[in-house]
Chain A
Amino acid sequence: MTTENNDFLEFLRRKAVLTRKETLKIHKIAQETRLASSLSCIEIFVTLYYGKMLAHNPSNIRWEKRDRFIISKGHGAISLYPILADLGYFDKEELCRVCYKESMLGSIPDCGISGIETINGSLGHGLGVACGMALALKRKKRNEKVFVLLGDGELYEGSVWEAIMFAGEHGLDNLLVIVDSNKVSMLDYCKNIIDLEPLDEKFRVFKWDTSIVDGHNICELYNILKILKCRTSGKPKVLIANTIKGKGVRSLETDSLSHIRNLKSEEIDKIISEMV
């Protein structure tokens, strides 16, 4: 790897640390936000946006040539707010007002927010909508891609599997799904609810192109996403990102109930001060 590349990866890592700190700060003022779920997908967001995987344009939010990005696990996306603000989608001041009266930003993003593509919040909708978009782009012979972020707990929704069957059958290779596989749903580890493994095999039998990555390793994420974005294998692609729910906060990382845990102000200050 060249020095230039190393510098770039270092830049992405720094952005991940910064985003994690900003996410914690948001949670400090908005305890209604789902912190643990938002911490597991930070490296994914950072690589997509700062790694320039997504074609997008903050000054023209519905730019025709943008790649579409659907955040189907809407509750776990407050970590996207600091990134969108940093990229110029809205004023950074908004980050200090999350969930406040009349704030633009709530605990779950919707498409009224600049930079957000669809309505999210109820699980199991994003992939089917993404299939419609991917199909439309294909039929119109356009080159833009459709990215989707799914949670692993979201895979319990039957509608997701209707869409998985559909995308596989119709060979939507302009569709790239990233599963934030943080292994924990609301009340327990997924393996204790209904084991989702072997997840990649499940996608494969539905005619998907599957890859697995360490979802916190920016270098690996960057390299695989770069390959997958351009791959036209005639199959939709899924990248299963093995992540840790609550990544960066030790008390959350080891807690099967991390989804519903809130952190106190002092705890957050301490965690932020200790972050490198």
Chain B
Amino acid sequence: MLTMRDTFIEDIYRRMHIDENIFFVTADFGSPMLDYIRKAFPNNFINVGIAEQNLINVSTGLSLEGYTVYAYAIAPFMTMRAYEQIRINLSLQSQLREINVNLIGVGAGLSYDVSGPTHHCLEDISIIGTLPNIILFSPSDCALVQKFVDYSINVKKPKYIRLDGKSLPSIYNNLGDIKLENGFTEIKKGEDVCLISTGYMTHKAISVANILKNIDIDVGIVDVYILKPLNGDLLYEVINRYKYIITIEEAFINKNGLDNLISIILENKNSDIIIKRLGFKDSYTFTIGSRDHLHRLNNLSEEYIVESIKKISKEI
């Protein structure tokens, strides 16, 4: 099973054979597939070293000269070490000049579970989402990533692509069925409760729904992958028939993450749907352990979510 990054890089590698206008820049971060690019396209590849600020700046310069650029680094370091470079050179500048820089950040959420809080990436959706002119893509499986390759080349704007570090099972079987421009997919319709999630947590939402199905609770699942721009009207059409919405994310809650994106839609529509936000409280997790263990500590385990929904179902 390929990781999302290798799937994405493999497709970029294929494109580089027919498109000499692609440039790949890394901040000394690798992947098995990247070795193919390094070897085959030394003229269109550069390693800036462990220097995320320069990664963004050099990528901007390449893009201003017409290249489609992929800038590759560990997600928390790219977004937070180089935040001002992203703000000035990509967010601000792309309002005045055409810039196609695709930031590929690997390690969304708790991908780097045992590395501790320096490597946990719980802020990226909030802080990148607040910057104008940047598209925020948060895929849950490799098919979405493959689908995004064309988009990354054709839509000439800065983008932040947050990828999970782990290999994940596939959710979408048929590439042709994915309507990328919608920004989300209703994976499953449910009765009263809908789970809305992004990235890795969509897999958790699916497991939770499967567990609940055995006890005759039928929940809906919506996987949101383009968090910005979020098609609020379209999303509301899908979710307005539910009584409860539960947002599930590996991010801080109440801080402009997925939960806020959804609550704003509900507020704008004067909706009386009740929203429950599952995610990280205002605290870092120093405890060492697997992703599942860290989820248990932060009320994101399958058991906790299942119990929450059972409780809600009784109230309805």
* Bound CA–CA A131/B53 (angstroms): 12
Q: Which residues of A contact B51 (CB under 8 A)?
A: 162, 165-166
Chain B residue with Cβ nearest A111: B96
* Interface: A211 (CB within 8 A): no
* Interface: A163 (CB within 8 A): yes
* Bound CA–CA A111/B48 (angstroms): 26
- The answer, among A122, A131, A166, for a CB contact under 8 Å with B88, is A122
* Min distance, Cβ A137 to any Cβ of chain B, angstroms: 6
- The answer, among A110, A118, A128, A137, for a CB contact under 8 Å with B54, is A128
Contact B61 A134 (CB under 8 A): yes
Contact with A along B48-77 (1 / 0, CB 8 A): 110101101111111111110000000000
* Interface: A84 (CB within 8 A): no
Contact with B along A104-143 (1 / 0, CB 8 A): 0000001110000011011011011111111111011000
Q: Which residues of B contact A122 (CB under 8 A)?
A: 84, 88
* Interface: B33 (CB within 8 A): no
Contact A119 B57 (CB under 8 A): no
Q: Which residues of B contact A133 (CB under 8 A)?
A: 61-62, 64-65
Chain B interfacial residues counted at CB < 8 A:
29
Question: Given A129-B89, A131-B58, A132-B59, A137 and B96 touching (CB < 8 A)?
Answer: no
Chain B binding site: helix, strand, loop or mixed by DSSP?
helix
* Bound CA–CA A118/B85 (angstroms): 13
* Bound CA–CA A158/B57 (angstroms): 13
* Interface: B46 (CB within 8 A): yes
Chain A residue with Cβ nearest B46: A135
* Interface: B93 (CB within 8 A): yes
* Min distance, Cβ A22 to any Cβ of chain B, angstroms: 25
> Could you pull out 15 A-B pairs where Cβ atoms are within 8 angstroms?
A118-B64, A118-B97, A119-B89, A119-B96, A125-B57, A128-B61, A132-B59, A132-B61, A132-B62, A132-B65, A133-B62, A135-B61, A136-B23, A163-B54, A163-B58
